[in-house]
Structure 1
Amino acid sequence: MACTTAFSRCSLNGDMFASKSAARNNSDILKGCPISTKQPLHSKSVYIFSDKSSSGPLYDRKCCKQSGRLSSMRRVQCCALKVEAKPLFNVGSKFQLDDVIEAQQFDKDTLSAIFEVAREMEKIEKNSPGSQILKGYLMATLFYEPSTRTRLSFESAMKRLGGEVLTTENAREFSSAAKGETLEDTIRTVEGYSDIIVMRHFESGAARRAAATANIPVINAGDGPGQHPTQGLLDMYTIQREIGKLDGIKVALVGDLAYGRTVRSLAYLLAKFQDVKFYFVSPDVVKMKDDIKDYLSSKGVEWEESADLMDVASKCDVLYQTRIQRERFGERTDLYEAARGKYIVDQGVLSVMQKHAVVMHPFPRLDEISVEVDTDPRAAYFRQAKNGLYVRMAILKLLLLGW
């Protein structure tokens, strides 16, 4: 099969050849086509398939998909017809990400589109609990660290869309990892049983290793002190729903900023928006690390460190409180005890906050937010946790089915 020279890549049934699935499924059909994997996965051309032996009508992506068989299209040529620029994301097209590993993968357009899908998922969850759009798909959850909200929200998301779940709650102790099996071997095994893997691991960078190994989508559900991208997405979704915008906001990140993977992902994501300012409030032993500060500075994002929570609370639109994580201190319990309890959100902090501002927390919490705050309408953290279901439903749908 030959390709015209009018373009540098081919598309089949909506899948770009640069993806994991396209390379695996379409290599025999598109053999001989010049492919550029460095091109962005969006195009201003419409690719049409025509049978060289027929003078009949052209077959577009929709028709090809409806035919149900690609093997009958052996004798096809790729043609490019220039058309007016279309929206980045069309229904039925492939999601441009193969895996969800870090917040830097997402741009503003993708975030906006994901949030639109999340709003649709919210309607599905409320009005159509029997959705079957992921029927026949199987998700494996590999959690090497404890989790409540992330694991259960992913499993709930999959089941609410008609899919099934394989799960291990403590893979570090109750999987073959306890026998010394490598992460790569575990991933190669599990991908044979499932269509998508959601993994939490105690080592930073583990999710990237898993994604490099797997031929199915991998979602990072938290990798040690590294990142937690789906938490960042649901945090962004919550801010947009609560405040009404993502540009021009002031955000206070409070608590464990050195090891808090949630605040790292949130900082990367919010840096994509205009006129955002960060306040970092934390004990000295868990201050925000230089890599995040340098990244924000390189993007022209304003930030400042402060030891005065009351002053910062009076200025910000979002007060994002985090737990001091004892598990990150190892045997240095003295440092943990020195850091814990220094900054607590209570009625005093609420009294200086603006009326439209919100308090958020990725959970679990200990004593860093007083329970008396729960009844205040600005306490958004339980709504935030619920939003995690909608965002994760959206991510599962997009990775498995596309836009």
Structure 2
Amino acid sequence: MKHLISIDDLSKDEIIGILDKAEDFEDVALGLRSCKILEGKILANLFFEPSTRTRISFETAMKRLGGEVVNVSAQEASSMAKGETLADTVRVISNYCDAIVIRHFLEGAARFAAENSSVPVINAGDGAGQHPTQTLLDLYTIRKECRRLEGLTIALVGDLKYSRTIHSLIKALKLFKNKIYLVSPEILALPEEFLEELDGNAEKAKLEDIIESVDVLYVTRIQKERFLDEEEYRRVAGSYRITPEIVSRMKDGAIILHPLPRVDEIDVRVDSMRQARYFKQAFYGVPVRMAILSEVML
């Protein structure tokens, strides 16, 4: 694997291979076993948008595997503040490292970076585009917690229009046979291009009508930073709030996922309920990203 820009870059077999490798790395991620296969390698984290989990989990993954990390945070802290282009920045940084992880506010920026880099580039989110490493850890979480990736009923809830995690997840879910419900305000409905990817295997629904049948409830926040119109954001903010009362209607074995950060779309009282898996989901980002790094750097 040269670059990881879109989940479309991977076949179903390649996805399963990464998940299998991530499982092998879990004890390393927990610090229970030493593995230094990336010793002598350097990873550059090039982030132009805020990040907590993605950046730190990549850094943790790299260091657990014996490598080093260079963090470049924000446009204002680099030569781009002086007018340097993204292409030139990537060309220079790729001379200093063995792989680049990039997060950018513009859709398509990660692919553009890959075209100008001499080392592998991993997309950690490009605007409202894609977030393939999040999708891989989502699939890993579903497989770990539900013990399968097919034959599930999955509800995607919240911002389906701007959420890059949803857009990437949709592309991956089409490879597996599941029933998918789409739950969102009309102005945040899944764009037609992604709806077509599902080839009729998804339907719009109201949460109260399907909550008892879902195996996976995947919740996203309404992303204020994606709205150009403040009034439009205010109209939909808080449209869906997962409360203990709603969760109590979920069937045994059902799980709740969230890519985080959350705002108020999941009541904090849900955190202690058995269905909540979003903090474990965040941890799974480490072994999954270890698997990805080992794929692109070895």
Q: Which residue of 1 aligns with 2:256?
A: 359
| Whole-angstrom distance in 1 between the partners of 2:246 and 2:208 | 6
Quote how far apart the aligned CAs of 1:226 are.
0.1
Note the alpha carbon deviations across 1:332-382, whole angstroms, 9 max, x for none.
Answer: 111111111111111121121111110000000000000000001110100
Are 1:378 and 2:275 an aligned pair? yes
Aligned to 1:324: 222
How many Å apart are 1:272 and its aligned residue? 0.3
- Does residue 108 of the first structure (1) align with residue 12 of the second (2)? yes
Structure 1 position 167, deviation (Å): 0.3
3-state SS of 1:173 partner: helix
- Distance (Å, rounded) in 2 between the aligned partners of 1:107 and 1:311: 34
For residue 67 of structure 1, what is the aligned residue in structure 2?
A: none
User: Aligned AA for 1:378?
Assistant: Q
Q: Does 1:303 align with 2:202?
A: yes
Matches within 5 A, 1:176-187: 176-187=79-90
Give the CA deviation at 1:213. Answer: 1.2
**Could you tell me which amino acid in structure 2 is paired with residue 193 of structure 1?**
Y
Offset at residue 123 of structure 1 (A): 2.0
Counterpart of 1:141 in structure 2 is 45
Partner residue of 1:196 out of 89, 96, 99: 99
Aligned pairs, number: 298
Match of 1:293 in 2: 195
Instruction: Identify, as 1 or 2, the structure richer in helix.
Output: 2
Q: Which of 62, 71, 78 is the matching residue for 1:158?
A: 62
Equivalent-residue separation in structure 2 for 1:173 and 1:281 (angstroms): 38
2:157/2:217 contact within 8 Å kept:
yes
Contact 1:258 1:288 in 2 (8 A): yes
Query: How far apart are 1:179 and its partner, in Å?
Result: 2.0
The residue type equivalent to 2:187 in the other structure is: V
Worse overlay, 219-228 or 240-249: 240-249
Instruction: Report the CA distance between 1:127 and its aligned residue.
Output: 5.1
1:271 — aligned with what?
174
Q: 1:130 offset after TM fit, Å? A: 3.9
Contact kept, 8 Å, 1:230 with 1:392, in 2: the verdict is yes
1:153, 1:389 within 8 Å by CA — same for their partners in 2? yes
Partner of 1:340: 237
Equivalences for residues 212-223 of structure 1 within 5 A? 212-223=115-126
Between the aligned partners of 2:33 and 2:113, the Cα distance in structure 1 is 32
2:297 corresponds to which residue?
400
Cα contact 1:129–1:160 (8 A) shared by 2: no
In the TM superposition, what is the alpha-carbon distance from 1:131 to its structure 2 partner?
2.6
8 Å CA contact retained: 1:106, 1:269: no
Give the counterpart letter for 1:142 in structure 2.
Answer: L
Structure with max Cα Rg? 1
How far has the Cα of 1:128 moved from its partner? 4.2
Task: Tell me if the contact between 2:27 and 2:33 (Cα under 8 Å) persists in the aligned partners.
Answer: no
**Closer, same or farther in 2 for the Cα pair 1:127/1:201, shift >3 Å?**
closer
- The structural deviation recorded for 1:126 is 3.0
How far does the alpha carbon of each residue in 1:121-140 deviate from its partner, in whole angstroms, 9 at most, with x for none?
Answer: 10222354543211100000
Instruction: State whether residues 240 and 246 of structure 1, in contact with CA within 8 Å, keep that contact through their aligned partners in structure 2.
Output: yes
Return the TM-score normalized by structure 1: 0.72
Identity %: 47
- Higher RCO (C-alpha 8 Å, min separation 6): 2
CA distance in 2, matches of 1:363, 1:209: 26
Counterpart Cα distance in 2 of 1:322 and 1:100: 23
Which residue of structure 2 lines up, in the alignment, with residue 82 of structure 1? none
- Structure 1 unpaired stretches of 5+: 1-96
Contact 2:170–2:197 (8 Å) recurs in 1: no
Q: Is the 8 A contact 1:310 1:352 kept in 2?
A: no
Structure 2 counterpart of 1:326, one-letter code:
K
Q: Determine if the alignment matches structure 1 residue 283 to structure 2 residue 185.
A: yes
**SS of the counterpart of 2:154?**
strand
Given candidates 262, 285, 288, the residue that maps to 2:165 is 262
Deviations 1:204-248 (A, max 9, x none): 011111111112100000000000000000000000011111111
How far the C-alpha of 1:268 sits from its partner, in A, is 0.5
Contact 2:43–2:69 (8 Å) recurs in 1: yes
